[in-house]
A and B are shown apart, each in its own frame.
With several copies, the nearest count.
Chain A
Amino acid sequence: MSGPEIKPEERLAATLARLILDPAAPPARHIAVGAASPIPAAACWLVKKSGHPVRLSLLHKRSGNPFTEGSRELFDLTGQGRIDLFFLGGGQIDGQANINLIGTGEWPGTGARFPGSFGSAFMYMMTPRTILFREEHSPRVLVEKVDNISAPGLSAPGVFRRGTAQALVTGRAVFRFDPARGRFALESAHPGEDVASIRAATGFDYDEPAHLPATPDPTPEQLALLRGPVRDEMIETYPEFCARVFGAAEKKDAAA
């Protein structure tokens, strides 16, 4: 173990785990996690190692990759309705939960170009629940209106869609999304943040509770799981992340 101090990544993983297990949301029996998402992956492992019977499909996990039809299988699985929850980020995310992975300025990103939309234009609409996750929380990322829509947060009536954003988790706060109103509501702020600091860092308008709770710390049990069994599962795929967040790796990176 790397010591008693709670790392921001550990708090975020525990926060995501709580959202995954939200009893008010549809059940998360099968969760898929994209390649560059160590914190969501840690959250999923935390749920699983806490004893909840969830199936995890971790993309680009080199050993134990669950897919035998190549990457197409994730999208087919999701099309079949077998993926209950997915995580998405965005170079920009706006107040209607639209995400932009294309770039700023004119199409296709004449300002800052982002990598591209990946499967978001499909996954966001075909998954019953999406948790939006982006560590950077700034007016640059959380904008009133995205410059380009990779995947829309809301769809016109009649357009087939299984779900949308459940929540948005950043390095500063947790927002819930209400699709009926097309609007976020601030749910909690991480340590060091308050109503004013969140408002200043957020480019879109949102609802705010009368009293803003602090995002809870991970429990000692969660910390023990994260720093032990969760780290062990993640070290092959995310060696740098594990070394930085959970302390010295005991296993060697298979790719080294």
Chain B
Amino acid sequence: MNPETLEASPEALAARVPDGAMVALPPDNSLPSVALAKALIRRGARGLRLLGVPVSGFATDILIGAGCVAEVQTSAVSLGEAGFAPRFTAALKEGRITVRDATCPAIHTMLQAAEKGVPFMPLRGLIGSDILANRPDWRVIDNPFAGGGDPVVLLPALSPDFALIHAAMADREGNVWLGRRRECATIAHAAKATFVTVERLHDGNLLEDERLAPGTISATYISGIALAPRGAQPVALLDEYGVDAGFIAEYARAARTEEGFQAWLARHVTEQHEEALA
């Protein structure tokens, strides 16, 4: 592995994410790095522009609650069975964040355009939705391959500054295995830098193993890796551990109020870490 790729901890990766950066996160149960979100909170990150690929969940809500976020671009913010995301909703109401609503395939498409190195990509649908009406950065052209009168939306390429992913394992070359959650590969291809927390290191080269290579992101795209066992919790990691629905429901209850959220944050993010370091 490139010597600077393997960092000592999620904190060391978080220190490399500057305030104001555009940070892409996969949704709950699709390999967001909750460990890195917590490390960003602990370092007091400010002004982050979050991108939900294509929707946002637990990690986004705690980053918003902790005051790290200026803008969220996403197709939805939700805690799944635990309901609406309380800190997102409160921050939107109070005007503390800018929300740029999208729709799931549009987010995938903008990243695919960046992955391909093209300035835009078309997408069907969308016409007649107020999402389009509120996205001056999206355009409608007349499909040049039709005889005329076939409007189609063009979406601009989107290249996040950072993708933050939690994967099952990395090898010493810096390759990362995340199995079937291949939208994470597209995020990594589109992002300027990708930081990955992993459960464990893998002996041997993931790309040399025909069974593991298909679920691997090549080290080419990976700028930093840190070990963070259980780093997706409370959300699920493939078949390795499931979602902790009780924990998220408890969070949803606590985070209904600012005070409740701050107490939850102290207990589960700030103090817990200080205890671990002590």
Residues of chain A having any CB pair with chain B under 8 Å: 30, 35-36, 53, 55, 57, 60, 62-72, 75-82, 101-102, 107-110, 113-126, 148-152, 154-156, 158-160, 240, 253-256
Contact = CB atoms under 8 A, between A and B. Distances in A.
B129 A76 contact: no
A101 B29 CA distance: 22
A11 B217 CA distance: 36
A80 B129 contact: no
A30 B220 contact: yes
A62 B77 CA distance: 20
B207 A70 contact: no
B80 interface: yes
Nearest to B218: A66
Ranked nearest first, the 7 interchain pairs of A and B with the lowest CB-CB distance are: A79-B117, A255-B242, A70-B183, A116-B76, A152-B128, A75-B105, A122-B125
Given A113-B84, A256-B242, 7 more contacts: A36-B78, A55-B220, A62-B29, A80-B189, A116-B75, A152-B129, A240-B81
A162 to B, nearest CB: 9
8 contacts: A30-B220, A60-B29, A68-B215, A77-B189, A108-B92, A113-B93, A119-B54, A121-B103
B109 to A, nearest CB: 9
B79 to A, nearest CB: 9
Given A70-B186, A75-B108, A158-B151, A116 B77 contact: yes
Interface stretch (B36-44, B130-138, B255-263): B130-138
B124 A126 contact: yes
Contacts of B117: 76, 78-81, 126
B169 interface: no
B138 to A, nearest CB: 11
Given A102-B130, A255-B244, A116 B101 contact: yes
Contacts of B2: 53
B254 interface: no
Contact of B131 (A76, A113, A150, A156): A150
Contact of B205 (A64, A121, A253): A64
Interface of B: 2, 27, 29-30, 54-55, 74-78, 80-81, 84-85, 89, 92-93, 99, 101-106, 108, 112, 114-118, 123-132, 134, 149-152, 180-186, 189-190, 205, 207-208, 213-218, 220, 236, 239, 241-245
A148 B130 contact: yes
Given A113-B92, A160-B150, A71 B54 contact: yes
B101, B108, B125, B186 pick with most chain A CB within 10 angstroms:
B125
A252 to B, nearest CB: 11
A36 B81 contact: yes
Given A69-B183, A117-B101, A117-B131, A77 B220 contact: yes
Contacts of B131: 102, 117, 121, 150
Nearest to B242: A255
B118 A79 contact: yes
A84 B198 CA distance: 29
A101, A121, A256 pick with most chain B CB within 10 angstroms:
A121
Given A119-B105, A122-B105, A240-B81, A65 B207 contact: yes
A188 B217 CA distance: 42
Nearest to B111: A72
A125 B75 contact: no
A109 B236 CA distance: 30
Contacts of B125: 121-126, 151
A115 B55 CA distance: 9
